[in-house]
Amino acid sequence: MKAIRVHQFGGPEVLKLEEVPTPKPDAGQLLVHVRAAGVNPYDTYMRAGTYAIKPQLPYTPGSDAAGTVEAIGTGVTKVKPGDRVYTARTLTGAYAEYTLALEEQVHPLPENISFEQGAGVWVPYCTAYQALHHFAKARASETVLVHGASGGVGTASVQMARAMGLTVFGTAGTDKGLDLAKREGARQAFNHAKPGYQEEIMKASGGRGVDVILEMLANVNLGGDLKMLALHGRVVVIGSRGDVTITPRDLMSRRASVRAFTLWAAQPAEMAEIHAALFAGMENGTLRPVVGKKLHLAEAARAHKEVLEPGAAGKIVLIP
């Protein structure tokens, strides 16, 4: 089979398309025929060798694949060959024609969700769910600012928060991203590249501030976020690429808090809850992963460059 292989940590150019043996499922494992693989920013940090998790070299990147079950190992009962699935991590990497996964790493993909959309489920939607439900503990009637609403996690968060009954504000850096945020459920969208947009958000909140902020770039925004919070407001840090200075008194006067998490630490019980909720949301049309760009598997290096560039519009997916 064809797969992207990384033999040394480095820039996007270390992603090489190679011919490798197709893996065979052992007991408790299954082989997925990958129809699309999602590209996440963390894939690039891992490839660069700067991430908390360093895979053993050589490796195939990617945790988010969607496709059909090709073969199952002994003892696998959850799925059968031919079933449509998405993965939440794999054993051998998603950027490939086939990927090996543990039975608990695959989840059913509803018929109304395409494989390309299915490649944008695990990381974006589990993150959105954890942020809104487990960390912000957001409630209907509250106001949420999705700070970075045009990307994978942002579009997922906007759809989910809207369905939960929150008033959603979103930010993006381009007109295309602003339109996307509004189309997916944001009541108003603001350009985070435009000086003074925080005042516009305060105005839109009637001057009281927002109850929840989901933050995709904390190193740039956290200090300003604290000034946009309502009393008892919560910032959930989802993404950050450096250090930041904050004024703790902004938190004190608002009795506010900052929480943060990584998806990696989610426990099995939380994951079971999340996947059940995601299946229901996809099946009933509430959750609709947005595919912004489809590239061939061979263009993985281009995908890794573009996923970090401004101008996000949903997910970038690789098609083997």
What is the contact surface with ligand NAP in residues (CB under 6 A)? 40-42, 123-124, 127, 147-154, 171-174, 177, 192, 216-217, 220-221, 238-239, 261-263, 307, 310-312
Residue nearest to ligand NAP (CB): 151
Spatial contact of 168 and 136, defined as CB atoms under 8 Å apart: no
Give the C-alpha separation, 282 to 172, whole Å: 24
Residue 147 CB, shortest distance to ligand NAP, in Å, is 5
Q: Which of 39, 226, 236, 2 is nearest to 129 (CA)?
A: 236
Residue 218 CB, shortest distance to ligand NAP, in Å, is 9
Nearer to ligand NAP (CB atom), residue 80 or residue 194: 194
Residue 126 CB, shortest distance to ligand NAP, in Å, is 8
Nearer to ligand NAP (CB atom), residue 49 or residue 173: 173
Give the C-alpha separation, 125 to 225, whole Å: 23
Nearer to ligand NAP (CB atom), residue 28 or residue 310: 310
Nearer to ligand NAP (CB atom), residue 79 or residue 180: 180
Residue 215 CB, shortest distance to ligand NAP, in Å, is 7
103-130 exposure pattern, b = at least 16 Cβ within 10 A, e = fewer:
bebbbebbeebbbbbbbbbbbbbbbbbb
E strand or H helix at 204 = helix 197-204
Axis-axis angle for helices 175-184, 152-163 (nearest 10) = 30
Residue 315 CB, shortest distance to ligand NAP, in Å, is 7
Cis geometry, peptide bond prior to residue 21 (ω within 30 degrees of 0): no
Nearer to ligand NAP (CB atom), residue 40 or residue 143: 40
